[in-house]
Amino acid sequence: MSKPEDDFALLVEGGNSVRLDLARNLLEQAGLPCLIHGPDFDVAELGFAAHAELRGSNLYVPTKALEKARALLAEAWGAEGEDSADPASAAIDLDADEATCPACQGAIPSGSERCPECGLRFA
């Protein structure tokens, strides 16, 4: 039996929860499995986002998919990939007739709670 660290490789270290969700949505949309994991910390009552922010979770992909995952993030977020400007910092006006998803650049109709292209949740 192999060890988990032999099967999975670190893709994004210590990312904030929004950035990790954006990356996970992009990878899952491309058919690449991934998981978000961080140090165990008893703040379950605060939810995943608070836990990720407080403890700095990491995003892992299967070792064999690491290069493809890096290329996907670099394509979506620019040449610097994971180190580029945080796509979550883009303002989204959900009251506008149409907005642009920061994860996939798809059109978001007014009143939507999720991006119809990649499934990113806004509300």
- pLDDT surpasses 90 at 54: no
Rounded Cα distance between 97 and 44, Å, is 36
pTM as predicted: 0.54
Q: Best-predicted range by mean pLDDT among 12-16, 27-31, 42-46, 85-89?
A: 27-31
Strands 107-109, 98-100: pairing kind: antiparallel
| % of the chain beyond a pLDDT of 70 | 66
Domains and CATH numbers, the chain: 4-85 (3.30.70.790), 90-123 (no CATH)
Q: 88 near 22, Cβ under 8 Å?
A: yes
Handedness of CA 87, 93, 96, 97 (dihedral sign): positive
Mean pLDDT of the chain: 76
Position 99 confidence tier, pLDDT thresholds 50, 70, 90: confident
